[in-house]
Amino acid sequence: FIEEKKLIFLDAPTGTGKSIIGYMIHYCYFWINNKLKDLNNDSSIITETTTYTLTSSKILQEQLENDFNNFNMLDHFTMLKGQANYECTKGTKENNTYTAYPDRSCKGMKKDQLENLDCFNTCGYIQKRMQASMAPSAVVNYAYFLTIMNAKFSPYFGPRELVIADEGHLVPQIVTGMFNI
Q: What is the DSSP secondary-structure string of 169-180?
A: GGHHHHHHHHH-
Q: What single DSSP character describes residue 100?
A: B
Residue 121: the pLDDT is 92
Q: What single DSSP character describes residue 139?
A: E
Alpha-helical runs (H) found in 17-165: 18-40, 58-70, 89-95, 111-115, 124-134, 142-150
Residue 76: the pLDDT is 87
pLDDT at residue 174 is higher than 90: no
Which tops the pLDDT comparison, 129 or 32?
129
Cβ–Cβ under 8 Å, residues 45 and 54: no
Q: How confident is the model at residue 2 (pLDDT cuts 50, 70, 90)?
A: low
Residue 120: the pLDDT is 92
80-134 pLDDT, tens per residue? 998 999 999 999 999 999 999 999 989 989 888 988 999 999 999 999 999 999 9
Q: How confident is the model at residue 4 (pLDDT cuts 50, 70, 90)?
A: confident
36-91 pLDDT, tens per residue? 777 777 665 555 658 899 998 888 888 888 888 888 888 889 999 989 999 999 99
pTM of the model: 0.83
Distance CA 148, CA 158 (A): 8
